[in-house]
Amino acid sequence: MTNPTLTILCPMKMEAAKFSRLARQYGWTLITTGIGGEAIERALATGPQTGPVLLAGVAGALRRDLEAGTAHLISEVYTSQAILHSPIIRTGLRVTGADEIVATPEDKIHLAERTGAHVVDMESHAFAVAAERAGRSWAIIRGVSDGVDHHLPAGCDAWFTPQGGLRPFVAARNLAGRPRDLLQLLAFARRTSRAMQNVAKLAEDTFVANSGYAST
């Protein structure tokens, strides 16, 4: 029997890189979408139109008990219209989406109080709405790249291309004369790498060991 092939959407190339081996091994479709809701909507509209779809990547913690580098199943998505529930993941955290990077501890705490969410990213709200509209079975797994008390460097949302790759010269120019922010960026990269290793492992456990979504 052949199970529907899983489609994985990763906003950034550094996130997708952690899934390349699994995609080859299990015959999954892996797409690097670019950052933000519009990029996710385009990927859903132009990618495979059958089978379950997984949004995988990193997010910022909104609660202090979530440690950087950990990975979590997402069962609820807070949107401006409603709270949407994953048809695949029944028990997990709540994520809220934001159209801009939520950088400061104060902003993160305020967002948690307003939405009841555990983590924040820039894609889940658009992803869940678009997947529901298309009648797709969907899931989200997010790794924690920055804790509540981590500050992200100002302007870091401009460091990435529309395809989800890093603009190293833009980042270098933006960080010139700001050694503290450079150290924060390097620490963010290390946390992201560790988090995505755990995201990939959790995805394999969820879609192979438990649910049998590997292509056979």
Q: Name the stretches of the chain with pLDDT < 70.
A: 1-4, 151-185, 210-216
Task: For 83-121, give one letter per residue: b (16+ CB within 10 A) or e.
Answer: ebebebbeebbbbbbbeebbbeeebbeebbeebebbbbb
pTM of the predicted structure, to 2 decimals: 0.85
Q: Which domains, from first to last, does the chain contain?
A: 7-210 (3.40.50.1580)
Dump strand ranges (E) for the chain: 7-10, 29-32, 53-61, 71-78, 83-85, 93-97, 119-121, 138-146
From 119, 107, 116, 112, select the one nearest 152 (Cα to Cα): 107
Predicted confidence at residue 2, as pLDDT, reads: 40
Q: What is the pLDDT of residues 98-152, one digit of tens each?
A: 887 777 888 899 999 999 999 999 999 999 999 999 999 999 999 998 888 876 6
Predicted confidence at residue 190, as pLDDT, reads: 85
Predicted confidence at residue 104, as pLDDT, reads: 81
Contact at 8 Å (CB) between 95 and 138?
no
